[in-house]
Structure 1
Amino acid sequence: MTKTASENTITLWRPVGAKELELIAQSGMRAFPPRLPDQPIFYPVLTEDYAVKIARDWNVPASGSGFVTRFEVRRDFIAKYDVQEAGGRSHLEYWIPAEELDAFNAAIVGPIEVVRSFP
Structure 2
Amino acid sequence: MRLFLTAICVTVIGVTAHAACPSKAPKLAKSNFSDGDQKVNAAWLQKNLGGHKVVYAGKDTETYFADGSYSYKSKGQTWKANTYKFYDNGMRCIGYQKPRFDLYVVNDGKLVLVNEKKERYVGQIRK
> TM range, normalised to the smaller chain?
under 0.3
Higher strand share goes to which structure?
Answer: 2
**Radius of gyration: which is bigger?**
2
Which fold has the larger relative contact order, with Cα–Cα distance below 8 Å and residues 6 or more apart in sequence?
A: 1
Higher helix share goes to which structure?
Answer: 1
